[in-house]
Copies of this chain bind each other. A is one copy, B any other.
Amino acid sequence: MATTPTPSDPITPGEGSFAPGSVAPAFSPLYQQIKGLILRSLQAGEWKPGDMIPSELDLAARYKVSQGTVRKAIDELATDNLVVRRQGKGTFVATHAEQHIQFRFLRLLPDQGTLDEQGLAERRIIDCRRLRASAEVARQLGLRTGDAVLQVRRVLAFGGTPTILEEIWLPGTPFKGLTLDTLASDKGPMYALFESQFGVRMVRASEKIKAVGADADAAGLLAVAEGHPLLSVERLSYTYNDTPMELRRGLYRTDTRHYRNELS
């Protein structure tokens, strides 16, 4: 490891020079720097989603720090949902290919059913097209207007009732090769497919929620009257490094379901 710090060369704040007029570099504790190094390895794909990362003692040896310092770094990565700790087994790179993770991004729950074990959503892909990014889509995805993007539209149904209409935009380059067939033949979460097929892991997302009336298109696909109130959920998802990687606009029927949010 060329970048491994040596004991005689600890990474210290204020090291090196900086432009006059700029603020002095903030103090950065060792464990934060270790966290940064582990993060770099995650981004670089040194350990893939589902993989076990080296043990705390191994990492402590690698970075020449104490186990406690590595521990604190991993603690933060765990609360960021980037890794998962399993006592007695090890620490693993988080993945969307797990049942209990599904509802971290899909927050629409049935009003009644105590358990959400009323089956998974039935999915129907409407189309998957190659387009040029509009100004708005480009801005949000960090592209330039006219850049290649993929657009996917699909409907999710629960118990036969069409409930969610989604329009998804993906940057063309990282998702080269994604086709309707790939999507249609896949079972399991779409974000798991992104991980396994394109090496793109969604890490966090930001949603803007509004109430809107169904237009003719949405009304038809969701089997409601035109003007029927729907939840509009616009989600921008980010991969490592705060890079936006997916723009998604969902229209949710909330007749018998609701969007659940916990404030704390």
Which residues from chain A sit less than 8 Å from chain B, CB to CB?
79-81, 104-105, 107, 111, 203-213, 227, 229-232, 234-235, 252, 254, 258-264
Contacts and interface: CB of A to CB of B under 8 A. Distances in A.
Nearest to A104: B263
Contacts of A235: 263
9 contacts: A81-B264, A107-B263, A206-B260, A207-B263, A209-B254, A209-B258, A211-B211, A211-B212, A227-B227
Contacts of A231: 209-211, 231
Given A229-B230, A230-B229, A263 B209 contact: no
Copies of this protein, total: 2
A261 B264 contact: no
Given A104-B263, A105-B263, A206-B263, A211 B230 contact: yes
A75 to B, nearest CB: 10
A47 B258 CA distance: 38
B264 A204 contact: yes
A66 to B, nearest CB: 14
A250 B97 CA distance: 36
A157 B111 CA distance: 30
Nearest to A68: B68
Contacts of A206: 260-263
Contact of A207 (B210, B232, B254, B260): B260
Given A209-B231, A210-B259, 10 more contacts: A105-B263, A111-B208, A205-B264, A206-B263, A207-B260, A207-B261, A208-B259, A209-B261, A211-B252, A234-B258
Contacts of A203: 264
Contacts of A261: 206-207, 209, 261
* Among all A-B residue pairs, the 6 with the closest Cβ atoms: A210-B254, A211-B229, A211-B211, A209-B259, A204-B264, A208-B258
